[in-house]
Amino acid sequence: MAIVNPYLSIKTVNVIILDSPIKRHGVAEWIMKQNPTTCCLQETHLNYIETHRLKVKEWKKVLRACRNQKRIG
């Protein structure tokens, strides 16, 4: 029998560039501790090919929306 959580937890985090493996690991650990239903990461600056770097075993889906330009400011 599966346990169903009646609450919806949404986290949104401005990570400001996930270019370092150490930073990606730290963000992934924090998200796993928080255990949100949905987590939105802003300003990852990862392109389509790099989205695999965000996959964590427990994550069901990784969706992305970005432009081709990387601009700060």
User: At 43, is the pLDDT very low, low, confident or very high (cuts 50, 70, 90)?
Assistant: confident
CB 20 within 8 A of CB 49: no
Which pLDDT belongs to residue 42? 86
CB 43 within 8 A of CB 27: no
DSSP secondary structure string for all residues of 25-43: HHHHHHHHHH--SEEEEE-
Residues near 2 by beta carbon (within 8 Å), at least 6 away in sequence: none
Answer yes or no: is pLDDT of 22 > 80: yes
Which stretch of DSSP H or E encloses residue 39?
A: strand 38-42
Whole-number percent of the chain with pLDDT over 90 = 0
User: Global pTM?
Assistant: 0.68
